[in-house]
Amino acid sequence: MTCQRCSREASVHLSETVDGSRRELHLCGPCARKAGLAPPDPPPNAALEAIVDHLIVQHVGELVGELARASCPLCGQTFMEFRTGGRLGCPNDYEAFAPGLLPLVRTAHGASRHVGKSPRRRTPPGKSPGLRLRARLREAIAREDYELAATLRDQLRQEDADR
């Protein structure tokens, strides 16, 4: 069946009843989109990852889509890696993945607030200078920027000595 607005093959078939009379509409993809009757264009660069990402956003919702893309800036672990392997990458992941992680924690423990003992010394994990310096050190080594790596290593030693 051809499109009622151009000569291409129709891929969208709609029917509606207006004042008791039934009307059928057969359109090709582009004409249907122009008429606002079809989903938007598929994502550009339709690599498998992008398609999966797109499907997740479309079908499961924006929050899950964001989580699927979430990764920790300090250790590089992604939320999806955590969901697959069950282990987090670093203390900062609890903040990086909070929207997805807190519901899981609540389900597992039936609670979401710690009421036990606390250490006297505390630094919020995202603010830990060591964790940040180590993340930069890993990046520098991966880039083979050994000069920066040496500087960062010295800074880490200094941090350690200061403690």
Q: Decide: is 160 part of the binding site for other proteins (CB under 8 A).
A: yes
Q: Decide: is 134 part of the binding site for other proteins (CB under 8 A).
A: yes
Q: Decide: is 109 part of the binding site for other proteins (CB under 8 A).
A: yes
Q: Indicate which single residue of 111, 144, 147, 162 sits in contact with other proteins (rule: CB under 8 A).
A: 111
Which of helix, strand or coil describes residue 3?
Answer: coil
Q: Decide: is 120 part of the binding site for other proteins (CB under 8 A).
A: yes
Compare residues 36 and 119 and give the one whose CB is closer to other proteins. 119
CB under 8 A: which stretch of 5-13, 25-33, 37-45, 130-138 binds other proteins?
A: 130-138
Q: Decide: is 33 part of the binding site for other proteins (CB under 8 A).
A: no
Q: Decide: is 131 part of the binding site for other proteins (CB under 8 A).
A: yes
Q: Decide: is 27 part of the binding site for other proteins (CB under 8 A).
A: no
Angle subtended by helix axes 146-162 and 129-142, to nearest 10: 160
Q: Decide: is 94 part of the binding site for other proteins (CB under 8 A).
A: yes
Say which residue the tokens 């697959």 belong to: 84
Q: Decide: is 104 part of the binding site for other proteins (CB under 8 A).
A: yes
Q: Is 28 left (phi over 0), alpha (psi -120 to 50) or beta?
A: beta
Angle subtended by helix axes 48-60 and 62-69, to nearest 10: 150
Would you call 27 exposed, middle or buried from its count of C-beta atoms within 10 A (0-12, 13-18, 19+)? buried
What's 22's DSSP letter? E
Which of helix, strand or coil describes residue 121?
Answer: coil
Q: Which residues bind other proteins (CB under 8 A)?
A: 74-77, 85-91, 94-95, 101, 104-105, 108-125, 128-131, 134, 138, 159-160, 163
